[in-house]
Amino acid sequence: MMHFEFHVEGGNFLKAGAASSQLKKILKQLNVDPKTIKRVVVAMYEAEVNIVAHAYKGDIYIDIDTKKIEITLIDEGPGIPDIDLAMKQGFSTASSVVREMGFGAGMGLPNIKNNSDELTITSEVNKGTTVKFATYLNQ
């Protein structure tokens, strides 16, 4: 059982993806199979960027055991009023500046769903959001 933690600053696009990059290195070192690494990295990046794009700050907790990689992202932010709507491909409340950078296509949460084996999102408006997902290790 291994545990890792990362902090994410809301609004700081210069650091977006730094935690995902660290995680990718860790998984490579642990010799996790490349297909699994690819899936985890896609889901992790989207969840990390969502904190940067939509929240004020957040923490990422990663637990790895022999069966799965479990990632929990807890942020302080505006929260998500309607999670089913937010999950829809193409739905986005991203600002025009963020969209011009190529973020805000409304494909992030669908990417997380498609690249994880378990996904739970809980959120409280004006408080924050918790995204928890797991990817199984096929060993």
Judged by CB under 5 A, the residue of 58, 77, 79, 108 near Mg ion is: 108
The residue range among 17-25, 33-41, 46-54, 112-120 that interacts with Mg ion, by the rule CB under 5 A, is 46-54
Pick one of 6, 46, 58, 123: the residue that binds other proteins (CB under 8 A): 46
Residue 99, exposed/middle/buried by CB under 10 A (0-12, 13-18, 19+)? middle
- Indicate the residue among 16 and 66 with the shorter CB distance to other proteins: 16
- Cβ distance 49 to 104 under 8 Å? no
CB of 22 to other proteins, least distance (A): 11
Rounded to an integer, what distance in angstroms lies between the CA atom of residue 59 and that of residue 93? 22
Residue 45 binding target from Mg ion, ligand ADP, other proteins, none, CB below 5 to 8 Å by type: other proteins
Q: Are 23 and 65 in contact (CB under 8 A)?
A: no
Q: Which of 2, 30, 33, 38 binds other proteins (CB under 8 A)?
A: 38
End-to-end Cα, the chain, rounded Å: 15
